[in-house]
Amino acid sequence: MGNARVNNTHGHIGSSLLRGFGDDLPLDVWLKTKMWPMEAKFTAETIEAAASLAILEMLKSGTTTFLEMYHLHLELIANIVDQSGIRSVLTRGMIGLCSPLEQEKKLAEAIELNKVLRSIGEGRITTMLAPHAPYTCPPAFLEMVVQEAKKLSLPIHIHLSETAQEVQNHIDTYGKRPAIHLAELGVFEVPALIAHGVHLDAAELDILSQYEVAVSHNPISNLKLGSGIANIPKMLERNILVAIGTDSAASNNNLDMFQEMRMAALIHKGNQENPTVVSAQDALLMATYNGSKALQLEETGILKIGKEADFIVIDSQKPHLQPNQQVISHLVYSASGSDVIDVYVRGNCIIRNKQCLTLDEEKIIFEANRAFRNILS
Amino acid sequence: MGNARVNNTHGHIGSSLLRGFGDDLPLDVWLKTKMWPMEAKFTAETIEAAASLAILEMLKSGTTTFLEMYHLHLELIANIVDQSGIRSVLTRGMIGLCSPLEQEKKLAEAIELNKVLRSIGEGRITTMLAPHAPYTCPPAFLEMVVQEAKKLSLPIHIHLSETAQEVQNHIDTYGKRPAIHLAELGVFEVPALIAHGVHLDAAELDILSQYEVAVSHNPISNLKLGSGIANIPKMLERNILVAIGTDSAASNNNLDMFQEMRMAALIHKGNQENPTVVSAQDALLMATYNGSKALQLEETGILKIGKEADFIVIDSQKPHLQPNQQVISHLVYSASGSDVIDVYVRGNCIIRNKQCLTLDEEKIIFEANRAFRNILS
């Protein structure tokens, strides 16, 4: 494949230990009774165990680059990125529902981290500024973030319009829809990548297209949390750059980009009762080349002489990949992450014959279970 | 698990070699330019290669029983069932768009096959009568089938309301919706299993509930062909027995019941913007115990003393199944068929440490590709 890098463009690997801890619940009940009380108990040990587990899982299922939005212990995550050999875009998620002083402190920390994180991992780590969402970041704070993003030439990553309720609340509070509001606040004047984009109207899609905002489509998380189905066919009609992300293992519940890509190719056909929307080729591009562009790693997103070689090898001898002539179709509609046998990042072999050469799998699985038991008790 | 048997309750494995041969096309274009011209070239060699490939794929991904609706070389398929050790419900699909003489011939063949097929596989093969669909079987033919089903105490398997177009055509032709029509024709007076049920109104769902008709939900095929999304939550509210099927590899494009189960648990949450519908437990039951009931194999659908032991073993040490406490959640939301390591049917080990003990995997993959090239040329 010319488009070789597999990019998971949105996630929160710090929360990976909450996989399966509370499914099938209303969103507010899940957050208030499951996620938040557990997250309050997270320590450095939790984050390190969670990030190690997630990076191992991603590498073994063929992901070569991931974007992380998290608010705790990003240096620890960067160290695991360094050790593992994976490529990463690390963003310090900032919730601005606090005093201006605390807002400034968070932003200063993000700016400082920007330098620290990029110094780790021999160039495999880049950063963005990540105000969490329009509903958690007041307008004045967003304007501060935009100012710094411009000054530092950093892209912005932000959640946008994941649920119908948050959009309605935004309209009730500000009298306008969130994407329009973000455009007015200047958020789209720097390169921007929004996550979800489930509830966007035509005027908002026009705005995203006009400002060349990229979208991280997270179909499985959006289904599982009951958020809805993003209108990807309408985005593609407008030439909006659509990439794919898994979101957290707490709402997915795995980090398999093949399953995400397959869902992206399937869900819109059924939802719109039209089998011609989002072709296999579209979905493959979303998971690979579009992701590189969305992560501002376009220069290294193609496998050719002079570019950095990130690529994966698939075991094409599996029964579910026969007859073996329809390669793109099988990659999108038939394969899963477990068909990956080798993974290379920057020319270095990280997974060989399904074994991780850089991380200790047995130890990571042991530590993940220990760390989970520690926050349970 | 108490509900140990994994039942794929609807498919056409005879068509497996058409996997990926024509994706993303309008339904009529796909059928007319891809499926039908290729199917016209099928020989005994094609069916044998296709069925061997599909049974190998199903066993390796943890399916212990499958239902097949096909119209060619069912004895060959039965022989592979026999050899492989899998359990199967074989049905001779009958399209009644032909002369009464030909209709009678097809029905006589199905009745004869009923005896022949059940004599193969040492009791692991059962049968049903399978008129293809309301739109391919005239009312008089359906009445003949019902009469024979009653006489022979055979259940009926039939496609029902897969697309909005076929429902509209049925109303235009007969002045009533298909499920109502089938009930009037007596089809539901014998145990019945319908496939798809994507476009059923409330009165039709009431009829299915009243007659205790089982539904084979095929969410991935329904998405991929743009047929739509069956209203499973409303079926569950009415206590309709819902099982899961993959349909053909030509419209799925694999036969992984874990992926199908996961889709069944995800799709309705997103479609209805409600994360509480179709719980992990619901989806697991659909793929296991409900399938046994739908296939009239209830007596052997549970793992306990005195029952036939069909069960599978999962490799719980995979990174994507950690932390390892939430077993049902992980089976439904995180696992895939490639996590299966051992498969037992009737107490016999068929897959051990991912290797098939009864079929020659290398040969089957070779033959599948050869047979596909033969029909391509």
Q: What is the pLDDT of residues B231-264, one digit of tens each?
A: 999 999 999 999 999 999 999 999 999 999 999 9
Backbone angles phi, psi at B20, to 5 degrees: 75, 5
The reply to whether residue A322 touches residue B223, judged by beta carbons under 8 angstroms, is: no
In the prediction, which pLDDT does B1 show?
A: 42
The reply to whether residue A224 touches residue B270, judged by beta carbons under 8 angstroms, is: yes
- Across chain A, what does the average pLDDT equal? 96
Q: Is residue B257, in this structure, part of any structural domain at all?
A: yes
d(CA B43, CA B35): 15
Which chain B residue's Cα is nearest to A319?
B57
Which of A13, A16, A17, A24 to mutate against chain B (most B CBs within 10 Å)? A24
CA dihedral in degrees (A365, A371, A373, A377; nearest 10)? 180
In the prediction, which pLDDT does A185 show?
A: 98
d(CA A132, CA A63): 24
pLDDT above 70 covers a percentage of chain A that reads 98
Question: In A, which residues are within 8 Å of B273 by CB distance?
Answer: 164, 226-228
The reply to whether residue B20 touches residue A333, judged by beta carbons under 8 angstroms, is: yes
In the prediction, which pLDDT does A298 show?
A: 80
Domain count for chain B: 1
Q: Is residue B276, in this structure, part of any structural domain at all?
A: yes
Q: Per-residue pLDDT tens for A30-57? A: 989 999 999 999 999 999 999 999 999 9
Whether A103 contacts A309, CB under 8 Å: no
Q: Report residue A2's pLDDT band, with 50, 70 and 90 as the boundaries.
A: very low
d(CA A146, CA A185): 8
pTM of the complete model beyond 0.95: yes
CB atoms within 10 A of CB A54: 34
pLDDT at B194 over 50: yes
Whether B234 contacts B200, CB under 8 Å: no
Q: Per-residue pLDDT tens for A210-235? A: 999 999 999 999 999 999 999 999 99
pLDDT at A3 over 60: no
Which position has the higher pLDDT, A314 or B306? A314
Beta bridge partners of B89: B67, B126
Question: In B, which residues are within 8 Å of A53 by CB distance?
Answer: 319, 322
Range with top average pLDDT, A24-28, A102-106, B300-304: A102-106
Q: Per-residue pLDDT tens for B144-174? A: 999 999 999 999 999 999 999 999 999 999 9
Element (H, E) at B356: strand B355-356
d(CA B299, CA B292): 8
Q: Which of A63, A56, A47 is nearest to A358 (CA)?
A: A56
Which chain B residue's Cα is nearest to A368?
B323
CB atoms within 10 A of CB B373: 12
As a residue count, chain B comes to: 377
Q: Which of A37, A42, A11, A43 is nearest to A22 (CA)?
A: A37
Question: In B, which residues are within 8 Å of A252 by CB distance?
Answer: 333
The reply to whether residue B272 touches residue A224, judged by beta carbons under 8 angstroms, is: no
Alpha-carbon distance A28 to nearest alpha carbon in chain B (angstroms): 11
Q: Is residue A1, in this structure, part of any structural domain at all?
A: no
**Helices and strands in chain A, H and E counts:** 16, 12
Q: Which of B341, B284, B285, B344 is nearest to B310 (CA)?
A: B344
Q: In this structure, what token pair is assigned to residue A9?
A: 């463009």
In the prediction, which pLDDT does B299 show?
A: 67
- Own/partner long-range contacts of B352-360 (Cβ < 8 Å, ≥24 apart): B354/B60, B356/B56, B356/B59, B356/B60, B356/B84, B358/B83, B358/B84, B358/B85, B359/B52, B359/B55, B359/B56, B359/B59, B359/B80, B359/B83, B359/B84
Distances (CA, A) of A224 to A68, A200, A272: 20, 19, 19
Range of the domain at B208: 7-376
Tokens 């020659």, located at residue:
B360
In the prediction, which pLDDT does A301 show?
A: 59
Alpha-carbon distance B250 to nearest alpha carbon in chain A (angstroms): 10
Distances (CA, A) of B80 to A372, B109, B239, B346, B357: 46, 20, 36, 16, 14
Q: Is residue B1, in this structure, part of any structural domain at all?
A: no
Element (H, E) at A200: none
Q: Report residue A267's pLDDT band, with 50, 70 and 90 as the boundaries.
A: very high
Average pLDDT over residues B316-340: 97
Which positions ≥6 away from B175 have C-beta within 8 Å? none
Which residue among B227, B249, B279 sits closest to A24, beta carbon to beta carbon?
A: B279
Q: Could you give the count of Cα atoms lying within 13 Å of A141 in the half-sphere of its Cβ?
A: 25
Backbone angles phi, psi at B124, to 5 degrees: -85, -5
In the prediction, which pLDDT does A377 show?
A: 86
pLDDT at A1 over 60: no
pLDDT at B200 over 70: yes
Q: Is residue B309, in this structure, part of any structural domain at all?
A: yes
Average pLDDT over residues A240-262: 98
Whether A241 contacts A212, CB under 8 Å: yes
The reply to whether residue A333 touches residue B254, judged by beta carbons under 8 angstroms, is: yes
CB atoms within 10 A of CB B308: 18
Largest separation between any pair of C-alpha atoms in chain A: 62
In the prediction, which pLDDT does A307 show?
A: 79
Q: Is residue B2, in this structure, part of any structural domain at all?
A: no
Which chain A residue's Cα is nearest to B340?
A338
Average pLDDT over residues B68-90: 98
Q: Report residue A299's pLDDT band, with 50, 70 and 90 as the boundaries.
A: low
d(CA B374, CA B377): 6
In the prediction, which pLDDT does A128 show?
A: 98
CB atoms within 10 A of CB B207: 19
- Across chain B, what does the average pLDDT equal? 96
The reply to whether residue B275 touches residue A222, judged by beta carbons under 8 angstroms, is: no
Which residue among A229, A323, A324 sits closest to B270, beta carbon to beta carbon?
A: A229
Alpha-carbon distance B55 to nearest alpha carbon in chain A (angstroms): 10
Question: In B, which residues are within 8 Å of A220 by CB distance?
Answer: 266
Beta bridge partners of A160: A196
d(CA B263, CA B283): 9
Average pLDDT over residues B178-191: 98
DSSP-based three-state secondary structure for B196 = strand
Query: B149 exposed, middle or buried (CB, 10 Å; 0-12, 13-18, 19+)?
Result: buried
Tokens 């004869």, located at residue:
B112
Which of B317, B333, B339, B372 to mutate against chain A (most A CBs within 10 Å)? B333
Q: Which of A208, A229, A228, A331 is nearest to A279 (CA)?
A: A331
CATH code at A34? 3.20.20.140
Tokens 């073993």, located at residue:
B313
DSSP A253-318: S---HHHHHHHHHHHHHHHTT-TTSS-HHHHHHHHTHHHHHHTT-GGGSS-STTS---EEEE-TTS
What's the CA angle centered on A244, arms B198 and A78, to 5 degrees?
140
Rg (CA), chain B: 20
pLDDT at B301 over 70: no
Q: Is residue B102, in this structure, part of any structural domain at all?
A: yes
In the prediction, which pLDDT does A225 show?
A: 97
Provide the residue type at B327 as one letter. Answer: V
